[in-house]
Structure 1
Amino acid sequence: MTRTVLVTGGTSGIGRAVAALFAADRARVILTGRHQDTVARAAGELGVDGAVCDAADPEQVAALAGRIDTVDVLVNAAGGLPSTPAGGDAGLHGVLAQWQDSLAQNLLTAVLTTTAVRPRLSGESSVISIGSIGAERRGGSYGAAKAALAAWNAALSHELAPSGVTCNVISAGYVAGTGFFRGGMTDERHRALVEETHDKRPGTVDDIAQTAFFLASPGARHITGQTLHVNGGAFTTR
């Protein structure tokens, strides 16, 4: 049976790779983004459905959910670094704006979208949210928001797992080849991040997409409430 897969933030980077992988598996994929031009381009190139939706806007999220009957896989990939710098002349107001931006992009997008489509989830659905190694170290407001995402996911799993829905976070390490750093990735920083890994390579968007695909597979039905660290050993757990 064809699965319906909803990917927020699906126009570029990890979200686009996730959408492409599920589309290759012949799922019905709906990708979202905030801008009509990027949504139309990505959806057209991948051969999937596109929907303009700011996942941090309750009205837009509710409207999106109202157009979808069933969600078999939800991938909360919307997020990113805050657009507002902290401090400076803005003082505490600048700090507040940055933290609100980080929380809106990296926590509330997932909370709002998941809440809106919750009635469309079935007993075999999967909710997958994209976290970050920044939740463990040097993450600032972005990392704190991703840490909150993992905490929320654990509570969500407690609520939904009895009905068969799995809920997990993929905590991505450094992933090269995306626009995440907005031009701020230097050769020196790249080398330092790669050196932190055990396998001495940066992550790829496909590393994360393949992990999401597994978490939505029959072989992962007993994995829920977890944060899976996909970082080449740059941060280890036991």
Structure 2
Amino acid sequence: MNRFDNQTVLVTGGSSGIGLAAAKAYAAEGARVVITGRDEQALARARDDIGHGAIALRNDAGSVAEARRLAEALQAQGLELDAVFINAGVARFAPFAEVSESLWDDTFAANVKGPYFQIQALAPLLRPGAAIVINGSINAHIGMPNSSVYAASKAALISLAKTLSAELLPRGARVNVVSPGPISTPLYGKLGLDAATLQATAAAIQAQVPAGRFGTPEELASTVLHLSARESAFIVGAELIVDGGMSTL
């Protein structure tokens, strides 16, 4: 079943992990996919991996100017969008007493300000019936130590999905959130932890998941595609949690 035949889809942060899995899933179902990221080499590898005429554009998700340039680049290529997966962001953790202003500013720039103005810039390019899916996190719900800034940024995104839905729905676009629990992605290798600490951290997190394991990027991608497809046209301003039961404890 090719639910996205003749459609164009944008995935921000699409060069690895959840974003790449979603981009490949969209392409496998017929979409022309545009991905963004900051690492040009990673983008080139991902573009080749996705295939199906994928387009890779370098973009900094935390920059308002870059958000506008991305929309301009798409418009210059005559592209209109049927779905957008707002996936790019950062995850930085620190105890409350050690949180710096720069950690706060960098996190909110990448996770809230950038996505907000990216959606604003892309709005004129959305086709009627378009779907926007925002990547949230169960950290917005569970009060995990050391995640205060990250969790707050994701809580802001979840709230935005509701208010932006109200504003964009009259224009024919809907906004929803997918909130993952622990997913096996390169993100965990970017936390600045040594191998032993990283392994212990992963084991502690896994012990909190009733399903007994981390999720896969492909499992999350399937939910993203469901929220993007016409089959979910009556789902508006909602949050779907994909966490193996972690947030139910």
TM-score, normalised relative to structure 1? 0.90
Structure 1 runs not aligned, ≥5 long: 89-93
| 3-state SS in 2 of match to 1:125 | strand
Letter in 2 for 1:56: G
Offset of 1:104 from its aligned partner? Answer: 1.0
CA distance in 1, matches of 2:105, 2:219: 30
- Which deviates more, 94-103 or 221-230? 94-103
Residue 168 of structure 2: aligned partner = 160
Moved more, 72-81 or 132-141: 132-141
The alpha-carbon distance between structure 1 residues 41 and 34, as it changes in their structure 2 partners (threshold 3 A), is same
38, 45, 69: which one aligns with 1:41: 45
Q: CA deviation at 1:85?
A: 9.3
Number of equivalenced pairs: 232
From 88, 92, 103, give the equivalent of 1:78. 88
Judge conservation of contact 1:102–1:141 (CA < 8 Å) in 2: yes
Measure, in 2, the Cα distance between the counterparts of 1:175 and 1:3. Answer: 28
5 Å matches for 1:52-91? 52-68=58-74, 69-82=79-92
Runs of 4+ in 1 over 2 A off after TM superposition: 82-88, 177-181, 183-192
Q: Which runs of 5+ in 2 are unaligned?
A: none
Superposed displacement of residue 227, structure 1: 1.3
Matched, 1:12 2:16: yes
Corresponding residue number in structure 2 for 1:124: 129
Equivalent position amino acid for 1:190 in 2: A
Per-residue CA deviations over 1:151-203 (Å, capped at 9, x if unaligned) read 11110011112333120111110012423442636333223222222221211
Q: Does 1:214 align with 2:226?
A: yes
Are the equivalent residues in 1 in contact too, given 2:96–2:148 (CA < 8 A)?
Answer: no
1:146 is aligned to 2:154:
yes
Task: Indicate conservation of the 8 Å contact 1:176/1:203, yes or no.
Answer: yes
Mapped contact 2:63–2:110 kept (Cα < 8 A): no
1:11–1:39: 8 Å Cα contact kept in structure 2?
A: yes
Counterparts of 1:2 and 1:84 in 2: how far apart (Å)? Answer: 44
Match among 31, 35, 44 for residue 31 of structure 1: 35
Tell me the CA shift for residue 36 of structure 1.
Answer: 1.7
Is 1:201 the counterpart of 2:201? The answer is no
The yes-or-no answer on 1:109 pairing with 2:119 is no
| 1:119, distance to aligned residue in structure 2 (A) | 0.5
Structure 1 residues 50 and 210 mapped into 2: Cα distance closer, same or farther (>3 Å)?
Answer: same
Q: Check the 8 A contact 1:85/1:98 in 2, yes or no.
A: no
Q: Deviations over 1:8-60 (max 9, x none)?
A: 01111111111111011121100000122221221122221100111222222
What whole-Å deviation, never above 9, does each CA across 1:75-124 have from its counterpart, x for those lacking one? Answer: 01101223999866xxxxx6211111110111122112111110111221
Q: Which moved more, 1:176-185 or 1:11-20?
A: 176-185
Structure 1 residues 133 and 83: CA distance shift in structure 2, 3 A? closer
Which secondary structure does the structure 2 equivalent of 1:126 belong to?
strand
- Amino acid across the alignment from 2:104: W
Identity of aligned residues (%): 32
Query: Are 2:203 and 1:191 aligned?
Result: yes
